[in-house]
Amino acid sequence: MSTTAPQFENHLHAREARWFAVYARYKREKQVARRLQEKGIECYLPLQRLTRHYTRKVKHVELPLISGYLFTRITKREYVPVLETQDVVNFVRFSRNLISIPEQEIDIIRRVVGENVEIEVEPSSFRPGDAVEIIGGQLTGMKGILLERRSDKNFVIELESLGYSLLMQVDPALLRRIRPGATPPPGKGGQGMFERY
């Protein structure tokens, strides 16, 4: 009886550049981003600016949004050069599959970081809560889950391809609850299909 080897997904493409997540060594994300750029490889390291209060001073620091992660937009021929970059550990795989990250999820990260709010990142898991949409500020139009077991200001944006959720503080006045089964009418942004939270 013959057995066939399992087939794994690989989203690398010969001509179309796609986004992939890369693991970097601990506290080496910025150096890896610089080295990739020096090689002419497009990369994106989302950083958040945080304020640290010490006994005698206040310090502003820029730290990676997701520790150990950065993103690179590559074609198939750039795969090995990325792996050969100093302090790159490997590409992020999901059940051994090399899955590309949709452009819209990278855009979400760019918008979230640009909002200049402090964010926590934690692995995604199913949680009860209302589906909501942000209706004000730079994040307008983003949908996610409002967590039930935390403050009513904790808003979750699911990034399924990454396997992570972004938790941030959002004023409840800027949220609308999405009614179950409701779909916004085209061209109207869903106004009237939501109720004030």
- Tokens 């209706």 belong to which residue? 135
Has residue 154 been placed in a domain? Answer: yes
Record the pTM: 0.68
Structural domains in the chain (count): 2
Closest among 32, 17, 28 to 67, alpha carbons compared: 28
Asked whether residue 28 is domain-assigned, the answer is: yes
Q: What does the alpha-carbon distance between residue 70 and residue 58 come to, in Å, rounded to a whole number?
A: 27
User: How much of the chain, in percent, has pLDDT values that exceed 90?
Assistant: 34
With cut-offs at 50, 70 and 90, classify the pLDDT of residue 51: confident
* DSSP helix/strand/coil, 107: helix
| Mean pLDDT across 154-164 | 64
Residue 83 reports pLDDT greater than 90: yes
Is 9 a domain residue?
Answer: no
Clarify whether residues 75 and 132 are in a common domain: no
Whether residues 120 and 171 fall in one domain: yes
Q: Does residue 141 sit in the same domain as residue 168?
A: yes
- My answer on whether 62 and 118 are in the same domain is no
Say which CATH number the domain at 135 has: 2.30.30.30
Regarding whether 154 and 118 lie in a shared domain, the answer is: yes
**What order of strands is seen across the sheet that includes strand 154-159?**
119-123, 164-169, 154-159, 143-147, 129-134, 175-178, 194-196
Q: Residue 185 — pLDDT band, cuts 50, 70, 90?
A: very low
Is the pLDDT higher at 175 or at 100? 100
Q: Give the span between the Cα atoms of 132 and 110, in whole angstroms.
A: 20
Is residue 149 in some structural domain? yes
Spatial CA neighbour of 33 closest among 110, 92, 85, 81: 85
Same domain, 156 and 126: yes
Instruction: List the CATH number of the domain containing 53.
Output: 3.30.70.940
Mean pLDDT, range 69-91, rounded to an integer? 96
- pLDDT reading at 78 higher than 70: yes
Average pLDDT over residues 132-144: 75
| Domain that includes residue 123, residue range | 114-183+192-196
Q: Are residues 124 and 96 in the same domain?
A: no
126 with 91, same domain: the answer is: no
12 assigned to some structural domain: no
Q: Find the mean pLDDT for residues 80-89.
A: 97
Whether residue 7 is contained in a domain is answered as no
